[in-house]
A and B are shown apart, each in its own frame.
Chain A
Amino acid sequence: MIPVAVPLLTAGERLDARRLIESQGLAFEDGCDDFVGMYDNGRLVATAGRAGYVLKMFAVDEAFQGGEALGALATALTSLGRAAGHDAFLVFTRPEHAASFEHCQFRLLVASGPVALLECGGGLERYLDAHRHLRREGTNGAAVINGNPFTLGHQYLVETAAAQVDTLYVFIVREDRSVFPFAARYRLAEEATRHVPNVVLLDTSRYAVSAGTFPSYFLRRNDEKAELQMQVDVRLFAAHLAPAFGIARRFVGHEPYCETTAAYNLVMKELLPLYGIDLVEIRRATAGEAFISATKVREALAVGDFATIERLVPETTLAYLRTFGVGC
């Protein structure tokens, strides 16, 4: 009998899935696009879910562990995922399960404390291969920017950082969980940094782990979800992206406002040196007395305060923002 996992479509089937997941000591997370499962004599014995390109909540009944259930679940989920347009998939799980996934041809990307991140589909290799022609000799730096929208602060960071390295790689966050869509954020970044000759612009693809992507279903109550998500993201950058481009320095703006970002800078300060990468914190640019931030721009945009916006963003961003009505 070839074990096959099938899509779980009815409310009853999904409830079975939820019960099985919780019976394994995992937390059920909403927001999955697909669920698949295996039934044995009318009983659900294995299940897993897919949210975008992230596979999660793999739960297999004890009696069926160590067999082919994982392969069946992964086959079915990736098949559904490919039909939805994805060509590589990430799995976040506990480190003790990493080996099982590796047997199914998942590649371990990062292990950090109670989290292991694996990928199926060779996406990272393809991404690095596609950008290989951007590799340049010298002492190189990187900045990872969301740019929601791209402000004078971002521009200042890029200009300042670029002056300190041979090539500055500016990674624009690909994930679309921002007010402004990726295509716009990337274009604004490109226009505002065109005058800096040693800047290379690229996107992060799947390889920036945000709070949105990072699932916590397998974490225990005491584990710090946000902290772990940041660690995984930083390690992914340091272990895989940085070496591919010869990056020795990562530049960030110092963070006076946002606790989460400040915490993130702290995680980078701890972990980057372990990979031989320096963290360079650049003091934020100011407009008058206040530091420039994208949040301020979005707040001003919501009330149509273009007087404020003008002082915070480059011309190209300003032109783009003017196309929006008030209150968006």
Chain B
Amino acid sequence: MDITRRASAGTMQSSDLMVHVEPAERLDIQIESTVKKQFEHLIRDRIEAVLRQLAVTRALVKISDRGALDYAIEARVETALRRAAEA
């Protein structure tokens, strides 16, 4: 899937996350999280899994997380990516 424009998904609420996606030359994942120290690597794993699943190899993905669970991370990331790939 090619990322052709900017898109976002999510909210700034507790237990949720905001995902911002924009086109880029390479793959770059930036994570801000209220539980960064404990869970950054797990969050990153989830995001990378979704990227692989959707075959996205180039994008800037910025996450602002307030303690979301894995299914929420997957859902928001997928939504943002799909919005960013819309023709």
Contact = CB atoms under 8 A, between A and B. Distances in A.
A71 B8 contact: no
Given A75-B18, A122-B32, A105 B64 contact: yes
B68 to A, nearest CB: 12
B66 interface: yes
A78 interface: yes
Interface residues of A, number: 16
Contact of A2 (B13, B20, B62): B13
Interface in B1-21: 6, 8, 10-14, 18, 20
A82 B66 CA distance: 20
B4 to A, nearest CB: 17
A6 to B, nearest CB: 13
B18 to A, nearest CB: 7
A105 B12 contact: yes
Contact of B11 (A71, A87, A103, A120): A71
Contacts of A105: 12, 18, 32, 34, 64, 66
A74 B8 contact: no
A3 interface: yes
A72 B32 contact: no
A176 interface: no
Contacts of A68: 13-14
Contacts of A295: none
Nearest to A104: B12
Interface string A37-79: 0000000000000000000000000000000100110110011
A71 B14 contact: yes
Interface in A58-113: 68, 71-72, 74-75, 78-79, 82, 87, 103-105
A74 B32 CA distance: 17
Nearest to A5: B11
B62 A3 contact: no
A78 B62 CA distance: 15
A78 B34 CA distance: 19
Interface string B43-86: 00000000000000000001010100000000000000000000
Nearest to A68: B13
B31 to A, nearest CB: 11
A75 B62 contact: no
Contacts of B34: 103, 105
A3 B13 CA distance: 9
A106 B18 CA distance: 13
A75 B20 CA distance: 12
Given A105-B64, A105-B66, A75 B12 contact: yes
Interface string A186-223: 00000000000000000000000000000000000000
B22 to A, nearest CB: 9
A72 B20 CA distance: 17
Contacts of B6: 82
B17 to A, nearest CB: 9
Interface of A: 2-3, 68, 71-72, 74-75, 78-79, 82, 87, 103-105, 120, 122
Given A71-B12, A105-B64, 16 more contacts: A2-B11, A2-B13, A71-B11, A71-B13, A72-B13, A74-B12, A75-B10, A75-B12, A75-B18, A103-B66, A104-B66, A105-B12, A105-B32, A105-B34, A105-B66, A122-B30
